[in-house]
């Protein structure tokens, strides 16, 4: 098996796992699960914010599965993770910042692995 094929397989596996993780995080927010609504309220965000974040997580997860636009999905989710890291730090939840940082690293790996497919986007 050549190196390019191994990279592609690894990119697919990582993309699917990240998509499952982000969809798992998005669904409770979109469903209005009280625990998430309470967390966002305690963090000082408006009532509609969990739905916006959940929608963007869902969209980003879907985009990760489309190689030609997976860098856009990784970028979108990376921005959300920057917001999550900031939220945890600003609210004194220091150890909680590790999860968004780990996700940003994994998203960066997907973006790096998919860079050739994304470069082939043509109008």
Q: Count other Cβ atoms within 10 Å, centred on residue 82.
A: 13
pLDDT at 109 over 90: yes
Compute the chain's Rg from CA coordinates: 16
Give the CA dihedral 31, 16, 78, 3, nearest 10 degrees: 180
Q: What percentage of the chain exceeds 70 in pLDDT?
A: 94
| Mean pLDDT along residues 11-33 | 96
| Mean pLDDT along residues 68-76 | 96
Q: What is the pTM of this model?
A: 0.90
Mean pLDDT over the full length of the chain: 93
As a whole number of angstroms, the distance between CA 91 and CA 97 comes to: 11
As a whole number of angstroms, the distance between CA 123 and CA 112 comes to: 22
Instruction: Sketch the domain layout of the chain as residue ranges.
Output: 3-117
Look at residues 56, 71, 58 and name the one whose alpha carbon lies nearest to residue 107: 71
């Amino acid at each position: 098996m050549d190196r390019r094929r191994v990279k592609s397989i690894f990119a697919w596996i990582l993309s699917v796992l990240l998509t499952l993780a982000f969809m798992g995080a998005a669904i409770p927010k979109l469903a209005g699960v009280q625990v998430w609504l309470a967390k966002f309220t305690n963090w000082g965000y408006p009532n509609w914010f969990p739905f916006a974040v959940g929608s963007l997580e869902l969209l980003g997860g879907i985009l990760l599965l489309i190689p030609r636009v997976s860098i856009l999905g990784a970028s979108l989710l990376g921005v959300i993770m920057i917001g999550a890291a900031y939220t945890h730090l600003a609210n004194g939840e220091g150890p909680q910042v590790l999860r968004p940082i780990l996700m940003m690293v994994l998203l960066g790996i997907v973006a790096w692995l998919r860079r050739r497919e994304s470069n082939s986007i043509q109008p």
